[in-house]
Structure 1
Amino acid sequence: MPKSKSTIPLKTMSDEFERGMYVAKLSMDELASYEPAMHAHRDDYHCFFIQETGTTSMEIDFQKYSITGPAIAYIHPNQVHRMLAAQDINVNVLIISNESLHVEWLNLLQEIAPLAPLKLTSQELILFKETVTLCLKFWESKPEQLFKSILRDSCNALVGLMITQYLGQAKPKAKLNRAEIITSNFRTLLEQEFIQSKSPAAYAEKLNISAVYLNECLKKATGYPVSYHIQQRIILEAKRLLYHSNRSVKEIAAELGYDDYPYFSRLFSKVVGMSALSFRNKNLD
């Protein structure tokens, strides 16, 4: 894979979609003609997919997924992703910015992401198709008075359906125990702070609990200590940059908040089982 970028390509809402939203129904031919989707990139917006038929293969943060038949998929901002292949598909796409999302939906997505694609039953697909049809009608209509508000509300209804489908697979928040609630809050904070904050004590302080108690909660809920989760998040970002950019390991270490380059190199080797350069070279093969 050629490396011509100094960082991971970023597609922005302002460059791609002026309204802060985009709705479309795509066939196999239309998707195949959208060549940028085949190259690894990030977005600064939320992407929702409702597949009706066919098979789609995609890669999201080094995890490959094969989606067959009715299914939904969600890619949150900053996840590195690309389309690998598609066969006989019909898929609906909703793209929406943070500003256009209802605050409640935005908060929920931040809590539950990242999410794997999820299969739909035939009855569930019918409801999604009906909602998509409504969104498309408003998207294609003339920009009359209140047009954008009506479009935004219909798109948020579709997002709400997506979230409901995912939450149906998860344990209700009202039934979470104390350790699980703290773990959820920690994960949200980690996504915001992993470059600036590296120690368990820093996260415990922001959560107004002791580092010992935070560690107990994480071990109880996930089986792993706080330091494990911090390291995994940092290494994921390092992998993204190693694979999708031509920055040196030293530059990547600095970008991730490590002035001590040798320490970062040892950490990467310990967590991944190979050096950063070996990881890059392996994925170039």
Structure 2
Amino acid sequence: MRAAVQHRYGPPSVLHVAEIERPLPGRGDVLVKVAAASVHPGDYFVMTGKPYVLRLVFGLRRPRHGIPGRDLAGVVAAVGRDVTGVRLGEKVFGWSSAGTLAEYACVPADHLVPVPPSLSVLEAAAVPTSALTALQALRDVASVRPAQTVLVTGASGGVGSFAVQIAKAFGAEVTGVCSTRNVHLVRSLGADHVIDYTRTDFTGTEKRYDVILDNVEAQPLAAVRRALTPTGTLIPNSGHGGRWLGPLGRIVKARVLSGFTRQRLRPFTSVEKYQDLLTLADLLATGQVTPVIDRSYPLDEAADALRYVGAGHTRGKVVVTL
């Protein structure tokens, strides 16, 4: 099969498409013929091996898994002998830690759910990691309730575009922060208010929010806290930072400060959960959440897809088709 592979850390140029052996499903696995796989900033960081702290998890000298990508959608091609409830030929979407920028991927059965009939496989591939992050941040960390005020920075990006819609589905009053060119997009996602950050600094207004999901972290923590209510929740959610520790310094600072204020400063890491993927499938099926696709690239241009994601400022998700 054809796959995008890398044998060392580095810029997108380390990726090349090669013929490799097709994987065989284990007893609890599903072999998926991949139709589309989305990429996000986390894939870019793992590809480059920066911040260096990532290498403790993904391989010290070279990537442990030579195929990038975690999210996918496609058709069930084979199942392991212990797998039940999954049909050959069924359209599914989910995630795999073994890499998804390949024609086939072996995926544990509990990492996949059926694609809702209203969704294309291209749209479904855009969902897992970014939408799970938005769902868990708003529901599990912030406990968003109806009529609360929620501000989302990076509202036109991968996580942000899902967060605006999910917060609205929870009944919140949502404000999205984005650039001028994305104001219309964020408003179309259901945001009640849109702030163009090139014209207005949300930390300098008198408005206070119950929840801030900060996907950009362009302002100091002290400034963002001024935009919170006295008992509000701030969720820092950016992978950027120094070349060695990335966002860890800011995360530690937020944890320490949280012990000295009634405000809740809650950095978190999303966890891939089957039940949460089912929840997202329901939100997608009912039209409460719709993926935003910025661009799609063929597999041969996977390096360009990751280069585009690494440059920042994507509108929604970037998808690689196979």
Band of TM-score, shorter chain: under 0.3
Larger Rg: 1
Give the TM-score, by structure 1 length. 0.27
More strand by percentage: 2
Which is bigger in relative contact order (C-alpha 8 A, separation at least 6)?
Answer: 2
More helix by percentage: 1
